């Protein structure tokens, strides 16, 4: 079985296996679409960006107009022939920092509307990396609700829509989950006890355990769901 080693803090390196599981789940999403926006949590360096870009390619191969946008890094990948949309994304990415971040995050929502209504695309996928960091944590829940509105109340009829948001920020998780506007999954699965065992082996940890747990998407009251995307730390 394929194994991958990833660092999620300066002190801890975790060996992963079964990363193919994440791509298989993307193939399942391509078959049915997303009823709710899928919000994926995980610490920096756990593979969210690589997975999103692989997901965009997988969805393209399944006949989707797939757009990957990273507002924080002013980056996008557009698997579409909608030239006007590509030009708008390039224009936003070229703007000054701050302005570009917010504009790219907004364009992610507009892209779905344009692809469905203006270009009559039946299968559309939008994958957004670090959106909450770009727009501000106080707007995270409203942003997810806007994505949900695209699925429930599209401008025109469509065959399937896939919306995925990935973030390393764990604080907004409770607010998003409270409204039930999204499906929330960790990038990988680890219990609080399992992470505690790793933490206690550190010779001189730079962060407190609760800080590390929060960075991995955990909370003081619950563990990440066993329905994970990216594989199992061993």
Domain covering 3-233 in this structure, CATH number: 3.40.50.300
Residue spans of the domains in the chain: they are 3-233
Share of the chain above pLDDT 70, in %: 76
CA dihedral 193, 195, 201, 204 (to 10 degrees): -120
User: Closest by alpha carbon to 115, among 69, 150, 74?
Assistant: 150
189-234 pLDDT tens trace: 556 676 777 778 777 777 777 776 665 555 433 333 334 555 444 3
**Is this prediction's pTM over 0.85?**
no
151-171 pLDDT tens trace: 999 988 899 999 999 987 666
- For residue 67, what pLDDT is reported? 97
Residue ranges in 46-164 assigned as alpha helix (H): 48-61, 83-93, 99-113, 131-135, 140-152
- For residue 33, what pLDDT is reported? 94
Q: Reply yes or no on whether the pLDDT at 188 is more than 70.
A: no
- Residues ≥6 apart with Cβ < 8 Å to 16: 3, 4, 5, 6, 47, 188, 230, 231, 232, 233, 234
- For residue 219, what pLDDT is reported? 45
Check if the beta carbon of residue 167 is closer than 8 Å to that of residue 131: yes
- For residue 15, what pLDDT is reported? 52
- For residue 224, what pLDDT is reported? 34
User: Which of 40-44, 86-90, 215-219 has the highest mean predicted lDDT (pLDDT)?
Assistant: 86-90
Q: Report which of residues 14 and 26 the model is more confident about.
A: 26
Per-residue pLDDT band for 60 (boundaries 50, 70, 90) equals very high
- For residue 222, what pLDDT is reported? 33
């Amino acid at each position: 079985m394929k194994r991958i080693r990833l660092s999620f803090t300066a002190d801890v390196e975790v060996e992963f296996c079964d990363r193919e599981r994440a791509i298989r789940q993307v193939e399942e999403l391509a078959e049915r679409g997303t009823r709710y926006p899928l919000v994926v949590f995980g610490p920096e360096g756990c593979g969210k960006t690589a997975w999103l870009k692989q997901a965009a390619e997988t969805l393209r191969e399944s006949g989707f107009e797939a757009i990957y946008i990273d507002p924080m890094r002013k980056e996008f990948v557009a698997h579409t022939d909608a030239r006007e949309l590509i030009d708008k994304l390039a224009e936003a990415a070229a703007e000054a920092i701050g302005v570009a971040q917010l504009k790219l995050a907004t364009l992610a929502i507009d892209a779905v509307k344009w692809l469905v209504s203006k270009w009559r695309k039946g299968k559309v996928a939008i994958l957004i990396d670090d959106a909450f960091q770009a727009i501000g944590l106080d707007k995270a829940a409203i942003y997810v609700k806007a994505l949900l509105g695209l699925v429930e109340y599209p401008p025109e009829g469509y065959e399937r829509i896939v919306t995925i948001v990935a973030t390393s920020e764990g604080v907004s998780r409770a607010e998003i989950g409270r409204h039930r506007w999204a499906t929330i999954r960790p990038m990988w699965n680890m219990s609080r006890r399992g992470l505690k065992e790793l933490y206690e082996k550190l010779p001189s940890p730079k962060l407190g355990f609760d800080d590390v747990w929060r960075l991995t998407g955990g909370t003081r009251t619950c563990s990440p769901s066993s329905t994970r995307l990216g594989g199992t730390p061993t």
